[in-house]
Amino acid sequence: VPSGIQAAQGDEVMDVRSQEPELRALILAGLDGDLAAHKILLARLSVYLRAYFRGQLARIGRGPADAEDLLQETLIALHTRRHTYDRSQPLTPWVYAIARYRLVGEAATRSGMSVHRGLKALSPRRQGSGA
Amino acid sequence: MKTDELIGLLATNLEPVKAGRLRNTFLIALVAGATAAFCVMVAIFGVSGDALGGEHFGLRIVALAFTLGLVGAGASFLLRAARPGEPGRKPVMIVCLLFLAILSAGIAALLFAHPTGWRGMIFGPQWTACLICIPLFGIAPFALLIWALRKGAPTNLARTGAIAGLVAGALGAAIFTLHYPVSSLPFIALWFGGPIALCALAGAILGPRLLRW
C-alpha cells in the first residue's frame, strides 16, 4: 500500500475543507504531470468520497459495496476530466460537484427516475418522501 | 477491482494538462459556428452588397448589439458551466437584462408611434424569415457548442443546454442581421428575441440527452 493512502486513512475524520490548500497543491502538481502528487490526491480524496457516498447511499437504503462502485466511477471521472478543474478556483467544490453528479446519475438509473427527480429524492428536504 | 488498485492504475500515465484547453475549445466552437452559419446564409441568400449599410443602419446596430451581447454573456456562462460546480449567476442576469432592454425598447417605440403603424412595426416585411432562418442558422453553432461542452464536464445539463441553444440562436440571429433589413425595435424584440428564446427551449430539452457523461 502506498504511503499516501496510509496517511489518508488517518485523517478520515477531519473536514475535507481544512485540507483544501494541501489538496489543491496536489492537483496543481498533478496537472503539471507530477505522477506521485496525482496518486496521493486520488488516495486522499477517496477517503472523503467513500464517507460521503456511504452516508448518502445509506439514506436510500444502499450498502457500502454500492458506495465503493460509485467511488471508483468518481475517481475515474476526476482523473479523465481533470482538465475541467479551473486552477484559480478552490478544489473541494469541483470534486464534490463531480461526486454529486455521479451520485444523482446512479440514483436515477437504478430506480428508473429522471435525473431531476433523482436530485430531489436525494436532497435533504425531501428525505423520506422521495424514491 | 479494489479501489487502491484502481488508483494505482489511473496514476500510471499522466499527461500534463494545458491551462487554456477548455477555453480554446469554446473559441474554436464559436468561430467555426459563426463561419458555418455565415456559409448557410450565403448559400441561401447569396452575398448582399450592403452588409451593414443601407436602410435602418441604427436598427441593425441595435439588433447586432442585442444578439452579440447574448452570445458574449451566454458563452461566458458556458465556459463556466463546462466545469463541474456552480457557474454563477452574473451571465444569466445579463441575458435577462438584454431581453428586458429590447422588450422595453420595443414597447416604448410602439407607444411613441401611431396605432395605425403598429401592425407594420410588429410584423415587418417578413417575420417568417426570422422565425425560420434564426433557428436554421443556429443548428451548426449548436452542434459545435455541444461538442465543446462534451469535452468538459457539465453538471446541470438542462440549464447548460438551454444556454447553448441561446448562444447558437443568438449567433444565428447576429449573422442574419447582416442580410436582413430590420425595420423597427418591436420587430427585433419579437422576431429576433422570440426565435432565440425558442432555440434556448430546444437546447433545454436536448441538453440532458446530448450532454450526459
Q: A75 to chain B: nearest residue by CA?
A: B7
Cβ neighbours around B9 below 10 Å, total: 13
- Measure the N-to-C terminal CA separation of chain A; round to a whole number of Å: 39
Q: Note whether A98 contacts B84, CB cutoff 8 Å.
A: yes
Is the pLDDT assigned to residue B125 strictly greater than 80?
no
Band (B41; pLDDT cuts 50, 70, 90): very high
Top-ranked range on mean pLDDT: pick from B9-13, B58-62, B63-67:
B63-67
Q: Residue A85: list chain B partners with CB under 8 A.
A: 83
Cell numbers for A100: 454529486
ipTM of predicted complex = 0.86
Is the pLDDT assigned to residue B2 strictly greater than 60?
yes
Q: Note whether B16 contacts A33, CB cutoff 8 Å.
A: yes
Q: Note whether A77 contacts B153, CB cutoff 8 Å.
A: yes
Is the pLDDT assigned to residue B67 strictly greater than 80?
yes
Is the pLDDT assigned to residue A71 strictly greater than 80?
yes
Is the pLDDT assigned to residue B51 strictly greater than 90?
no
pLDDT (mean) for B70-78: 97
- The residue with greater pLDDT, B42 or B125, is B42
In whole angstroms, what is the distance from residue B177 CA to residue B192 CA?
9
Closest CB to A35 among B1, B6, B14: B14
Cβ neighbours around B21 below 10 Å, total: 12
Closest CB to B7 among A31, A43, A100: A43
pLDDT (mean) for B140-151: 97
Q: Which residues, including other chains, have CB under 8 Å from residue B67's CB and lie 6 or more apart?
A: B170, B171, B173, B174, B177, B192, B196
- Assess contact for B183 and B56: CB atoms under 8 A: yes
pLDDT digits (tens, 9 = 90+) for A93-126: 999 999 999 998 877 766 666 555 655 666 654 4
Q: Note whether B157 contacts A98, CB cutoff 8 Å.
A: no
Cell numbers for B16: 500534463
Band (B204; pLDDT cuts 50, 70, 90): very high
> Which residues in B13-130 belong to E strands, given as ranges?
none
pLDDT digits (tens, 9 = 90+) for B150-185: 999 999 999 999 999 999 999 999 999 988 878 889
Pick the range with the lowest mean pLDDT from A100-104, B118-122, B202-206: B118-122
Q: What does the mean pLDDT of chain A come to?
A: 80
